[in-house]
Chains A and B, each alone.
Chain A
């Protein structure tokens, strides 16, 4: 500890050089934070998807509708706690580029199956009393400045109202909240309103969500459901909710792998820069290190002093970069709706810290070992 002033002084010998090295590491870890966030965003919430929830879609593809009559049949299967349906509406608010998920649901079973969507009891009551009522996520309400009780018109693209035109009117009866990683940009309205008001398509739903009592029975129950509806007019394909979301993420392509490849390139380059700086700084101080050794500083102590310098650069530069990344992420999704899950997971923060330490160590180890093994007489002779 008493050597800290020595380490500090040595670091700031060449202020510009240290500052720029710190800045390079800062940039590297800023990128790390941001890219890890993007990688997480493209997993679309796979991690929090329920293992005890199964999703049934039409066997051909998600865009084919299923009959609403499947619901009571699903409820009777042993092992099923609750079954409900969702239907994609695909409308937009004012401008077609304002994308957000709007889905028709059956309010009571839906919120039972998704306890992670937190809605106050009075808002739930208001929703149940108003056929045109909707609940929206907190982030979505903030994005458009919607308030409780506001009347919101959406322009439909798939289902046209019986009365004509394309506009469907809704009243905001609730704003739901959730933890980190929960998608708070969705818009849920009532299926009975959709079915009664749409021109055509009566009795059809998009997909089913089934909550099962025992997650271990997921595979067996998936087969049971698919067999129940085999050879009917609408055959089904059942997967766990996690598998369903993963399928979407996979369709985008391996974004995760691309991010990691980029980060590897970035961190490797910055490591190179930091290492070359450390090597240079030690080389310059050969005489002084020799003097220290003459005075009695052991080889091991010299090694520690050099490593302390490079670790400092790694931790301070990296810490600042990661900190800034975290602050930026707090600002929310910059794409306006395409990336609803925009958080920097704490697991990646821990990984970042680990990488900082590793980089600091790797950058300094070669010069440090060289300094440790320095022979006093050779060093003093060197100019």
Chain B
């Protein structure tokens, strides 16, 4: 008990006197906070991007593409094949209509609002009337749904924010085609919000695709219907396709970019962390050195070595905690929800997403800050506790 009281007393003393050593403590706090801000902000890019991709797919839907295609863009299905696919078992029906939509996926060049001279690959999807029913989370929030058979389009919310000239009522000019924006839709933050949707038949004509599609999206009767659906299709000689659960498809599509960002983010944060630890060590050495005589006096009075050690560590942890909280708060307020877009290598098209500072990231950031504080304070604490009392008392 005495040990505990001594430790608490010393820690209280250390913490109360921090304001006297404000400038050197500030160095450690700023150093740690800086690392935490960079760490959280870079990883929030990966978190936001993968969240957008994960939100996009539903386990209740199956995506059918030509066998061997690695994304919708490289796939190609004939009209007759699409008709066969629509006959497969396991598709939910709305009355007599199977909830299935044969779709085209192309990209058109539109400038980003942030770099108006430079075009970006904006995805454009040709859909069928059933598409809205197949995708339950999609709803038109402004304007109205497009009229099939015309050049009307609806634009995803993310796309309308990121790319120029996609507001309600605008006309998109692409090559010789003109598309009329009549509505803005939302899709729960998923990747569909980066897309422009039009009638697949009109798109086929505009792009001279004849009667061909690229993918068929089917709303399954239940998650378990996937096996029956897949087996019927893969054993059917009339089609040459592969089937993926939609959410797994999107998860796969985001893998490369997400891991790249994460590798870079963790790598940078690790190196910065080492630098910040050195900074913390320097600060704590200073803290210990300036109070060498006081600490030695306390030890001479009978405070035991263990308490000294723990109290110095406690001070270092406190600095780490303050740095971590400050860094986390700065990252959150500066970056959370920041809208941006980037090109996903795998699909060669833009994905609009928002930086996401998740609770897990904040906690990881604070834990990292505490680790930096702990490692930084260890050696100075040992030094403070074990320096021979006479030499410490003599120290300037």
Annotate A271-288 by CB proximity to B: 1 below 8 A, 0 otherwise. 011001100100010000
Residues of B within 8 A of A268 (CB): 34
- The CA-CA distance from A276 to B374 in the complex, in Å, is 21
Q: Give A246's nearest chain B residue, CB to CB.
A: B118
Residues of A within 8 A of B283 (CB): 276
Q: Does B120 count as interface, using CB distance less than 8 angstroms?
A: yes
| Contact B38 A272, beta carbon cutoff 8 Å | no
Residues of B within 8 A of A334 (CB): 263
Which of the four size classes fits the interface of chain A? 35 or more
| Contact A250 B118, beta carbon cutoff 8 Å | yes
Q: Which one of B10-18, B305-313, B340-348 contacts A?
A: B340-348
Residues of B within 8 A of A251 (CB): 112, 118, 120-121, 342-343, 350
| Contact A284 B396, beta carbon cutoff 8 Å | yes
Residues of chain A from 9 to 36 with CB closer than 8 A to chain B in the complex: 16-17, 20-21, 23-24, 27-28, 30-31, 34-35
Residues of A within 8 A of B42 (CB): 258, 262
Q: Which one of A112-120, A155-163, A340-348 contacts B?
A: A155-163
Q: Give A334's nearest chain B residue, CB to CB.
A: B263
If A27-B275, A157-B74, A247-B118 touch, whether A273 touches B27 (CB-CB below 8 Å) is yes
| Contact B107 A63, beta carbon cutoff 8 Å | yes
| Contact B342 A252, beta carbon cutoff 8 Å | yes
Q: Which one of B52-60, B79-87, B264-272, B385-393 contacts A?
A: B264-272
Annotate A232-267 by CB proximity to B: 1 below 8 A, 0 otherwise. 010101000000001110111110001000100110
| Contact A155 B268, beta carbon cutoff 8 Å | no
Q: Does A74 count as interface, using CB distance less than 8 angstroms?
A: no
Q: Give A247's nearest chain B residue, CB to CB.
A: B118
| Contact B278 A30, beta carbon cutoff 8 Å | no
Q: Which of B71, B279, B281 has the most CB of A within 10 A?
A: B279
- The CA-CA distance from A337 to B176 in the complex, in Å, is 36
Residues of B within 8 A of A160 (CB): 68
**Nearest CB of chain A from residue B289's CB, rounded to whole Å:** 8
- The CA-CA distance from A252 to B107 in the complex, in Å, is 16
Q: Give A231's nearest chain B residue, CB to CB.
A: B176
Annotate B101-134 by CB proximity to A: 1 below 8 A, 0 otherwise. 0000011110010110011110000000000000
Q: Give B212's nearest chain A residue, CB to CB.
A: A200
Residues of A within 8 A of B67 (CB): 166
Which of B71, B208, B260 is close to A338, meaning CB atoms less than 8 Å apart? B260
If A237-B109, A265-B37, A265-B38 touch, whether A30 touches B282 (CB-CB below 8 Å) is no
If A251-B343, A265-B38 touch, whether A60 touches B27 (CB-CB below 8 Å) is no
Residues of A within 8 A of B119 (CB): 247
Residues of chain B from 15 to 35 with CB closer than 8 A to chain A in the complex: 23-24, 27, 30-31, 34-35
Q: Give A24's nearest chain B residue, CB to CB.
A: B278
Q: Does B170 count as interface, using CB distance less than 8 angstroms?
A: no
If A251-B342, A253-B340, A262-B38 touch, whether A60 touches B282 (CB-CB below 8 Å) is no
- The CA-CA distance from A24 to B281 in the complex, in Å, is 10
Q: Which of A34, A63, A277, A383 has the most CB of B within 10 A?
A: A63
**Nearest CB of chain A from residue B271's CB, rounded to whole Å:** 5
Q: Does B228 count as interface, using CB distance less than 8 angstroms?
A: no
| Contact B27 A272, beta carbon cutoff 8 Å | yes
| Contact A250 B115, beta carbon cutoff 8 Å | yes
Q: Does B4 count as interface, using CB distance less than 8 angstroms?
A: no
**Nearest CB of chain A from residue B111's CB, rounded to whole Å:** 10
Which of the four size classes fits the interface of chain B? 35 or more
Annotate B174-205 by CB proximity to A: 1 below 8 A, 0 otherwise. 11110000000000000000000000000000
| Contact B275 A270, beta carbon cutoff 8 Å | yes
If A250-B115, A335-B260 touch, whether A31 touches B272 (CB-CB below 8 Å) is yes
Q: Does B168 count as interface, using CB distance less than 8 angstroms?
A: no
| Contact B274 A27, beta carbon cutoff 8 Å | yes
- The CA-CA distance from A272 to B114 in the complex, in Å, is 34
Residues of chain B from 237 to 285 with CB closer than 8 A to chain A in the complex: 255-256, 260, 263-264, 267-268, 271-272, 274-276, 278-279, 281-283, 285
**Nearest CB of chain B from residue A19's CB, rounded to whole Å:** 9
Annotate B345-387 by CB proximity to A: 1 below 8 A, 0 otherwise. 1001010000000000000000000000000000100000000
If A156-B68, A262-B38, A276-B27 touch, whether A269 touches B341 (CB-CB below 8 Å) is no
Residues of B within 8 A of A63 (CB): 73, 106-107, 348
Residues of B within 8 A of A64 (CB): 106, 175, 207
- The CA-CA distance from A235 to B118 in the complex, in Å, is 18
- The CA-CA distance from A265 to B343 in the complex, in Å, is 26
Q: Does B286 count as interface, using CB distance less than 8 angstroms?
A: yes
Residues of A within 8 A of B9 (CB): none
Residues of B within 8 A of A30 (CB): 271
Which of A17, A38, A58, A155 is close to B68, meaning CB atoms less than 8 Å apart? A155
Q: Does B294 count as interface, using CB distance less than 8 angstroms?
A: no
Q: List 30 A-B contacts (CB under 8 A).
A: A20-B282, A27-B271, A27-B272, A28-B275, A31-B268, A35-B268, A59-B109, A61-B106, A61-B108, A61-B121, A62-B107, A63-B106, A63-B107, A64-B207, A155-B68, A156-B68, A235-B176, A246-B118, A248-B343, A251-B118, A251-B120, A251-B121, A251-B342, A269-B275, A276-B23, A280-B24, A334-B263, A338-B256, A338-B260, A338-B345
Give 6 closest A-B pairs by Cβ, nearest first. A27-B275, A60-B175, A251-B343, A24-B278, A157-B74, A250-B118
Given A31-B268, A277-B282, A338-B345, 13 more A-B residue pairs with CB atoms under 8 Å apart are A16-B379, A20-B285, A24-B282, A58-B175, A61-B108, A64-B175, A250-B115, A251-B343, A252-B343, A253-B341, A266-B38, A269-B31, A273-B279
